[in-house]
Amino acid sequence: MRLSNWRGIFGNADDSSEIFVKALEDEFEEVETHIVDVALLFRACKPRLARSPIFPQLADPSVSFLLQDLNRESKRHQGYVYGYPEDEVVIRRPGFATGILPQASSIPNLLIDMEENPCQIQSGLGTNDLSTPLILFHDAGGTVFPYFCLGDLHRPLYGISNSHFDQGGKWDHGIRQMGVVYSHLLRSVIKSGDVILGGWSLGGCVALEVASRLMKLPQYTVQGVIMIDSVFPTSKVTDRYPRTIAEVAASFQLPTRMSDARRVQAQQCILYAHEMQRDWRPPLFPSGLPPTVLIRAADPVHLDPDAKPHYLDLIRNWAYLGWEEYDRSFIQSCLVIPGNHFTIFDDPHCHQTTTKIREACAILARPQQPNPE
């Protein structure tokens, strides 16, 4: 297969061959995948001058060519696309979904994703054009709903949700595979420059995975990571993780406005996320860990002192929420916000959460000094 085709899936189209090959080697070192003749379906389908007579109703002629490529390549490669041998072809290019939908029934193994991922939550318009974009990754429930509750962060804000949400949130290669896929999703909307990564709970761990990849690419500078009440998955905590849907429902608070169907999906995502966290080990950072700000909730989930502590509060009294077991030197600052793990985005506390995230961004934008601890 031509190198240009592989580059379309795994790298930026304008990357040099040397950069691309090194990035591809890095991905294969991290994740055991069996990739078979992956077809270039995303970057190859450039808008063409002629409108295809087969699909004259489509406004964007590139959609027509994408359809033809999908139909042809999915037959040739049994629907193997986007870097992993999946059973379905997933199209995530914004604007294509509505154009392809009328023709979807004619394409084998096609799943249309009608939700943009990444999604832009705040545009940052009216602020300093040099404000570094912030990308926040989903929590164990798989959604980015909490980030829509935040006030103005004075910078572009993107959310990346669990792209396997509709399949129960399972990733065959765990959080490491999330890091591979999400780094490419991020690169689809931010081509180069400075970025700040972060996330609530599981999202903080995912942010480290993505950072480990972006930091290998010369076109990106990871200014830092913001972990929002992300508890390190030490065995003291993971041994108490729920192991059934019933246990998840009893211990994990989801948004009240979530539909019953999505609630069931989110609970399944949580169950798989906890399984993945039990097995997860933080990635290697040959050039050093990214500077990080830890934002932690002040209160336990159960305020009653006689109540059994929630598993997320078993190390609430540790200054760095268990990251001491890993390496606390990369944590530049630890900020405290009111509320517990599940209420920090609720109305009484969200203003303070917003303020602390803005403060964390400001800390990471400054020249970094080593943590004296």
Which residues sit opposite 158 in a β-bridge?
Answer: 120, 135
Domains of the chain: 3-112 (no CATH), 119-365 (3.40.50.1820)
Whether 238 shows a pLDDT value over 70: the answer reads: yes
CA distance 205 to 277: 9
Task: Look at residue 334 in the predicted model and tell me its pLDDT.
Answer: 97
Neighbours of 188 (CB within 10 A): 15
The whole-number average pLDDT for the span 178-184 is 92
Task: Look at residue 128 in the predicted model and tell me its pLDDT.
Answer: 63
Least confident window among 37-51, 191-205, 303-317: 37-51
The whole-number average pLDDT for the span 262-277 is 91
Name the one residue in this structure whose structure tokens are 């690419």: 217
Which residues sit opposite 372 in a β-bridge?
Answer: none
Measured over the CA atoms of residue 200, residue 204, residue 205 and residue 209, the dihedral's sign is positive
Q: What is the pLDDT of residues 4-34, one digit of tens each?
A: 433 433 444 444 444 444 444 444 433 322 2
Task: Look at residue 251 in the predicted model and tell me its pLDDT.
Answer: 85
The whole-number average pLDDT for the span 105-129 is 63
Q: Which two tokens stand for residue 308?
A: 């059994």
Whether 343 shows a pLDDT value over 90: the answer reads: yes
Residue 124 half-sphere exposure, CB side, CA atoms within 13 Å?
16
Cα–Cα nearest to 322, from 230, 208, 227, 209: 230
Whether 93 shows a pLDDT value over 60: the answer reads: no
Contact 313, 117 (CB under 8 A): no
Q: What is the pLDDT of residues 146-159, one digit of tens each?
A: 998 999 999 999 99
Which of 10-19, 43-52, 262-271, 325-334 is modeled with the greatest confidence? 325-334
CA distance 209 to 68: 35
